[in-house]
Chains A and B, each alone.
Chain A
Amino acid sequence: MKIIFFVLLTILFSSCAQVRSVSQTSIPTKRDKLVKAEVKKNIFFLFNFSTDYLAQINTQLRKKCPKGNIEGILTKDVMIVYFPVIYHQDYVTAEGFCVE
């Protein structure tokens, strides 16, 4: 009974998301339009052979604000572990203000 209680408690308090890094650039005075870009990479058995998916963030941001500048960008680099060793996801988001 004690073991079941311990297992349930562990599941309740254990987390699966790890923030690896956060960065923020200077925030503009004009903050009307928020644009967001995100990329995800599913990784099985820790095998990952490329980090090119990160380049899509800039492309996505440019598409969402084609005629303006994007400032005050908050970048979050998160790792979410679904099944330890077997499957995790790299999740990077960038959101900023489109100043036109």
Chain B
Amino acid sequence: MKNFLMVLFLSSCAYVHHHQVGELRTPAGHVMRKFEVLVSENGFSVQEAGAAAKAALRNHNGEAAERFAAILSLFQMGPRTGNPVWSSEKYADGVFEKLYEKCPSGQITGLSSTREMNKYPVVSGEIVKLTGYCLLKKTNTVRKKI
């Protein structure tokens, strides 16, 4: 129970793993519209699951569950950011198309990329976030909208 409470206690919400700021251009005759693109996948912490299982099961195979988690975690060795995800890493591949959806002109500036994690006990949200500015030509219609 103590381990389980520790897991809960030490869980926080938002972790930043990486942040990168891109070049900022402000060409004349354009206005900048801010946009955000976000893709995410569910992550799973085997270690926390093992600790939680041990605490919940106590004498009923709790140790075995923890050992199983330890063996499973051997398959997830190596440097990484956040937790391993359910499926593959392909969830991040869609950001390119999403950028064009947000800014069809393709004139993007100030593109910042953030790799972050929303963490909860055992599970997590593994997030890739891109924010930037879409450059729009200054017209009367655009001025009114912005």
Q: Name the CB-closest residue of A to B117.
A: A51
A96 engages B23 (CB within 8 Å): yes
Of the candidates A21, A51, A71, A75, the one having the most CB atoms from chain B within 10 angstroms of its own CB is: A51
B131 engages A46 (CB within 8 Å): no
Interface residues of B, dominant DSSP: strand
Q: Name the CB-closest residue of B to A95.
A: B21
B16 engages A57 (CB within 8 Å): no
- Closest-CB distance, B10 to chain A (whole angstroms): 6
B21 engages A73 (CB within 8 Å): yes
A: interface residue count bin:
35 or more
Contacts of B20 on A, CB cut-off 8 Å? 21, 23, 75
Interface residues of A, dominant DSSP: mixed
B26 engages A62 (CB within 8 Å): yes
Q: Name the CB-closest residue of B to A98.
A: B24
- Assess whether A25 is interfacial by the CB under 8 Å rule: yes
- Assess whether B112 is interfacial by the CB under 8 Å rule: yes
A21 engages B19 (CB within 8 Å): yes
Residue ranges of A at the interface with B (Cβ–Cβ < 8 Å) = 20-21, 23, 25-26, 43, 45-51, 54-55, 57-58, 61-62, 65-73, 75, 77, 85, 90, 92, 94, 96
Q: Which 8 A-B pairs have the closest CB atoms?
A: A23-B20, A70-B24, A46-B12, A21-B18, A94-B21, A69-B25, A49-B13, A75-B21
- Sample of 17 A–B contacts (CB below 8 Å): A45-B12, A47-B12, A51-B16, A55-B112, A61-B24, A62-B24, A62-B110, A69-B23, A69-B24, A70-B23, A70-B25, A72-B23, A73-B23, A73-B24, A75-B21, A77-B18, A96-B21
